[in-house]
Structure 1
Amino acid sequence: MEIRILRYFLTVATEQSITQAARVLHITQPTLSRQIKELEEKLGTPLFIRKNKKMLLTEAGMFLKSRAEEMVLLSDKTEQVFLERKQEVVSGHIAIGCVEADNSDTLAMFLEEMVAEYPQVSFSIFSGTSDEIVEKLDRGLLDIALLLEPISTEKFNKIILPRQEKWGLLVSKDFFLANRNCVTIDELMGIPLLCPSRVDVQKMLYARLKLEVGELTIIGTFNLIFNVFSLVENGVGSALTIEGAVSNRRLENMKFLPLMPEIKINCVVVWKKNTVISPAVHKLIEKFKHAF
């Protein structure tokens, strides 16, 4: 499948009109119609249906659109890397993945330095769980990422950051433990808990708490802690989380209680092994290496 044809397809999907898409692409309408027809024949399925004078995607078309966007993005990123390597001036775009963590401010500090030192560098940040970010790193959609362990990093180079992340319990100010400075393992038992959805994290917590899987009363899971703030505030459950995910939030009606004994994990910066990286990404990695 040619990238050029995928660009044609995406333009038609965006404009919902062969005529308008042809104008945007600066090609003739018959040429574009023929290319779309040949693509449908090659895939053996209609990609568009006509409705109210608009070209709307079929189910197969929507599936192709999601894949085509990724393929075109990866193609553009690859061309960008080779173009930037030819240039003496450090420029280009850095795609970054970042979990909710205390170490996020370290990343922000280095990005502040990058854009000050290299004005032609821009960046985008994708926030999500470590699993979501690793998937995008593996597919080449992200250049570098800040992740929380436990995470499998066999495919990646990594730098362990010195500041560890502390696990604890986010509770409502009205919760019976809210006047405490920490929460023990025994006190966790029987409490309705909201827990990160990552299976590796749940296994790690059970192991570090020296409990059997299923001993905790987990009533719900989440991927980003912000999604359960209202549930914690209203006493539906208390959330197991790291302190860095909530330390810079406004928590007037909630309180973070560290687990006792302490459970701390590492935060790591990773990038894919055996891949060509742009000068801009290389400069950012060098900043982490020099600092840590």
Structure 2
Amino acid sequence: MPHVNDRARLNQCQDLLNVPQHVLRAATVNGRIELDTTDAGQEAFQALLFDLLFSPSHSHPWDHRGGRSFRGLTGYVEWMLPAPLQLTIQASVAPRVANYLLPKTVTYADGSHGHFGVPGLRVERVTARAVHLLHLPTQGRLELREFHRGTERLMRSRLRWETGSGETPENLAFWNKAGVTPAEESAAPHWAPTPCTPLRSALLVRASIWWNHWPYTAEIVPARRSNTSGCLKWRQGPSCVEVEGRLVDSDIRITGVANVSSADRPDVSVLTLGSAAVELARCSS
């Protein structure tokens, strides 16, 4: 990433990431903003969040709690910025987003089980401005923060209200203290490292490319090509050529990424990072 003392480049990062300039400056390390983590666990957690937040509504096996969907949570996101060991999302209602992500396991009569929310996710701590979540299996961290600062007591009260833990206090006790359950361990393939993990993590932290445009239409769907792991498609927002430019050549580019496109199909291309590949497609309808 560029040196943020270059004002023009800092302004471009601010525009592309939709993050306040003072937040960008505070996030610098040796004068630079590093978007991509080198921590394998944090990377795996962010790749998992990409799968959830870009999944078509209620299509993911954990996305059936009702009322909203994983992708619908993007409507609460004001901005997002990664750090080496944490992803920070500023949300309009942080406890509500936390509630939808926190897990619940249902065991059926035949002994099988289903998950709602993210298996293995726990409340690490609550502060006056944020709910800090820890994914135990990967040790990945997510800070859900708000612009306005209240009190720690108020934030805890709002979290209890959103989760319904006033009526079921055992839920909040579980989310604060429990280790990973055997049922949650069975979901491990969802966060297991794959060749595409770094690319999915990198796409998540640059999600503002798509989320800056309402309505949010970007979603990851099954691969159409034999050499890709999925197809990221959208209907509103930048063209495929513009997305390629931001991911490959801009100041928020993904290091080492390349794209393969065809002049006769400007709204379709393949993005590659190492041996991983994802198809990009802007659809007309």
* TM-score, L = length of structure 2: 0.23
More helix by share: 1
Higher RCO (CA 8 Å, separation ≥ 6 residues) = 1
Larger Rg: 1
